[in-house]
Every structure is written in structure tokens, then in C-alpha cells.
Amino acid sequence: MEKAYKLLAIQEGISNRSAKDLIDRGVVYSGGKKVVMARALMSPKTKFRVEKIDKIEIIFQDKNIVAVNKPPFLKSEEIAKKLGFRLLHRLDKETSGVLLLVKDEEFLQKAILEFKEQRVLKEYLAWCEGRIVENIEIDEPILTVKKANYAYSKISKNGKDAYSLVEPLMIEGKNSKVKVTIKSGRTHQIRVHLKSIAHPIIGDTIYGGRVAKRVMLHASKIELLGYSFEAKEPDNFKL
């Protein structure tokens, strides 16, 4: 038996560090199942499949702002470092869609105020468990606990106000594709709110969803300060 990342490194002809990074990103599979522990002991005969990570697509840029269509499995901070601009907000690693970075400091301060005053419109698409057949408004405060690089949120009367509007788009079997509109931007807000109504996001095992190739959440649209950006769904945003 050998550690998964070492076997992957040999198979792919890459360094141990690169192999561990691929497993940590969640793009390595064996026997149809995602490899979740880089140090897991596996047979030397194990064969791996590595999912391709899409390229960063720039949707728009001018002297103030850069809008990109963030692919899943990349951290927002990685994109900011690669492009050389400051993040205006963040998306979770497995969430795809519109991510905004800024070039101008004065514009940054104006944009931060828009977020603070909840004047930013954000629309997301999500595949969730269960059948949603009518609009659902969720107005539940969210409390977030942060430890080192880890954050977990929950519904709590001690939390900050959070409102989500859930609108059904499609039903496929026992699953629903929905549009979720928010103005507040609490950590993991949509994930927590959908869990609270017993419709967790598929792939979101932290908040009760079943295992899938990724967390099925996509930031489809954002509007602020006269700008409006939309990001097309990636190919892997399908059940």
C-alpha cells in the first residue's frame, strides 16, 4: 500500500506536491469515486482519473474592474494572484461564476460600500435535492464561526440578517434547479438557507447534500454601480 498522492505523482509524472494539490482541489477520481484524502493508503495498482480545470475566462474589464467567469476547483485568491488585481468579493472553491476584481482604489472603496449597504444584486443557480415547485423566501439570520482557514455557518438568532429568494427553474427526477437571488452576502448563505428548508445543494456534503462531482452552485449574475455581468454555466454544471 502507498499514499494516494505518491501513486498519483508517479502515474501523472508530476511532483508529489502537485499531486497532493490536485487531490485537495477535488479533481482526482479512482473507481468512479472522488479521492478525498491525499494521504489515504491505496493499492499500487490503483488507476486515477484527473478532471480538467477550465481556464479563467475574462468577461469584461475597464479601468475600474475585471469580471471573470471563475471555474470550479480554483480558489478566488489564486485567480487574484494570477491576474494581479484585488478581489472585491470571494466565491467558494467549488463554486463557479462571476467573480469581480478591481484595479482602482477609489472604485474599490465605492464598491465595498455598495456591498456593505446591500445594494449589490447577486443571482445564483443551484441544483438541490428535492422538488421545489414554487417561490420560497428565506429570511433567517446566519452566524458564522471561523477557525484558521475554516468557516462554518448556521441559522441562529445571534447571527446577521440574511435574505434569499429561491425560484424554481427545472425539475429533474427528485432534484430541482433553482435561481437564488440575494443582496446580503453572508458566508455560505445560500448553502445554509437551502439546507434549512431541507433542499441542500447537491455535492455540498458539509451542509447535508449528497456526494457529487462538485458543489452544484454557480454565480450567474451580479450588478453594482451601473455594471451588470453574467457568466455562462460550465460544462460540469449538470447532474
CA dist 60 and 9 (Å) reads 37
Write out the three cell numbers for 215: 458543489
C-alpha distances in angstroms, 141 versus 41, 130, 185, 190, 207? 42, 23, 11, 12, 16
Write out the three cell numbers for 176: 430541482
Contact status, residue 163 vs residue 139, Cβ threshold 8 Å: yes
Q: Which helix (H) or strand (E) holds 186?
A: none
CA dist 188 and 92 (Å) reads 8
Write out the three cell numbers for 192: 445554509
Please confirm, yes or no, whether 204 is among the known catalytic residues: no
Query: Is the dihedral angle over the CA atoms 33, 36, 38, 41 positive or is it negative?
Result: negative
Q: Who's near 233: CB < 8 A, 6+ residues apart?
A: 96, 125, 218, 220
Q: Which residues of 80-94 are buried (b: 16+ CB within 10 A; e: fewer)?
A: beebebebbbbbbbb
Question: Which pairs count as long-range contacts for 31-37, CB under 8 Å and 24+ apart, including other chains?
Answer: 34/211, 34/213, 35/4, 35/8, 37/4
Residue of 21, 24, 92, 139 marked active site: 92
- Which residues are annotated as catalytic? 92
